[in-house]
Amino acid sequence: MPLLVMKFGGTSVADLARIKNAAAKVKREVERGYDVIVIVSAMSGKTNELVGWVEATSPLYDAREYDAVVSSGENVTAGLMALTLQEMDVPARSWQGWQVPIQTTSAHASARFIDIPRANIDAKFAEGFKVAVVAGFQGVSPEGRITTLGRGGSDTTAVAFAAAFSAERCDIYTDVDGVYTTDPRITDKARKLPKIAFEEMLELASLGAKVLQTRSVELAMRYNVRLRVLSSFEDTDENSGTLVCDEDEIMESKVVSGVAYSRDEAKMTLVTVEDRPGVASAIFGPLAEAGVNVDMIVQNISEKNYAGHAGAVTDMTFSVPTNQVARAKKAMEDAQAAGHIKYDDLNVDTDVAKVSVVGIGMRSHAGVAAKMFAALAAENVNIKVIATSEIKISVLIDRKYMELAVQALHDAFELDKAGA
């Protein structure tokens, strides 16, 4: 029997009416001949409420008990979904993570999958059950404690089940009807993509597009799980939404597929750092140990000697999320106090944004960077930092120009038009 995985996010199961709507979509797939594994999130807002209760009860909470509390939201949704399907005469039952069992590491609140044994769910399908409703976001540690996977973990759960059960496809139902060339709230010219390659989706997710959780795309790419993103609130068919797949499935692709952005960026510059072997390690090692996610890095090499410096010096610029600036400053101050690095000043600019163009077509087409920079220059947008990869070009700019930059790049690469 062919098998589908269907995942419903928090807004798709926000109340009983929406659960019933989601269940109707599941029933339709059962009627088409599929066995279905449904992965559910907690009802919209419920996880935040549970986290708030934990923090109000115990500011320095036990992470194991945090997981026990926070995972309960998905359990409620799974039970309600199974009951709703039963009322629709669909043979279904709910599964909590430990019942499958979804085996994970012991890293509470950020656990990773070890294994998803098929035997228990396969046995129920063999008995005549058509739907297994599984609580997303959770698993069980080797010690037998409930674990959670971190925010967005239900997407990752869905992909992991699709890989473990060799599903024909993994459908991610959410509050948008697919993946767009950019945020439609910024430009009404944004176009829904019928297909997008795993690598492109991974870059867009990591650069700020909120449609899919980054870990879920990484897992899908590793196991070649075909993902489809579509809306819970529209009538859908086999052509609905956006298919995230291997690039070999995409016959024609534009050089640039999308424009992504992130407002929550900060630029940090260490001024007049000693230019010597090992200085980069001395800077970024402490940042890594402090859990700071460094993205763009630029080193301004200088052969000049400055007053008070015996040898050549350099400035080192890098970007970090704005909520990690304090942690990054402390890591640098501690490294200087310990004598590991020397610098004259640490400049922080929290009024910046990152804008990126992404596309697998960049591999075989020259001139993308020149076109991007010309489009920004035409709008008098100054570039502060540039970073590139094989399929991505990112720039840091003043935050006030972010929407203008996104619109200009979307127009420059004619993303509102289909075709190569």
Binding residues: 7-10, 47, 74, 174-175, 180, 185, 210-211
Closest CA to 10 of 174, 151, 132, 253: 174
List phi, psi (to 5°) of 250. -100, 110
List phi, psi (to 5°) of 264. -90, 60
3-state secondary structure at position 390: coil
Structural tokens at position 299: 């080193």
**DSSP secondary structure letter of residue 207:** T
Binding residues for ATP: 7-10, 174-175, 180, 185, 210-211
Binding residues for substrate: 47, 74
Contact by Cβ (8 Å): 175, 11: yes
Residues 6+ apart with CB under 8 A from 188: none
Contact by Cβ (8 Å): 140, 106: no
Please report where in the chains the tokens 């540039």 appear, as a residue: 386
**DSSP secondary structure letter of residue 174:** E
Q: What is the arrangement of strands in the sheet containing 3-8, beginning at the earlier edge strand?
A: 92-95, 131-135, 35-40, 3-8, 169-174, 227-231, 242-245, 195-197
Can you spell out the DSSP letters for 201-257? Answer: HHHHHHTT--SS-HHHHHHHHHHT--EEEEETTS---TT-SEEEE-GGG-S---S--
Bridge-based pairing of strands 195-197 and 227-231 is: unpaired
E-state strands within 76-122: 92-95, 103-104, 113-115
Please report where in the chains the tokens 């294994």 appear, as a residue: 115
Separation CA 30–CA 45 (nearest Å): 29
CA angle 169, 173, 177 (to 5 degrees): 105
Bridge-based pairing of strands 258-274 and 242-245 is: unpaired
Closest CA to 43 of 86, 6, 82, 8: 8
Separation CA 274–CA 203 (nearest Å): 34
Please report where in the chains the tokens 């489009």 appear, as a residue: 375
Can you spell out the DSSP letters for 315-332? Answer: EEEEEEEGGGHHHHHHHH
State the first-to-last Cα distance of the chain, in angstroms, to the nearest integer. 38
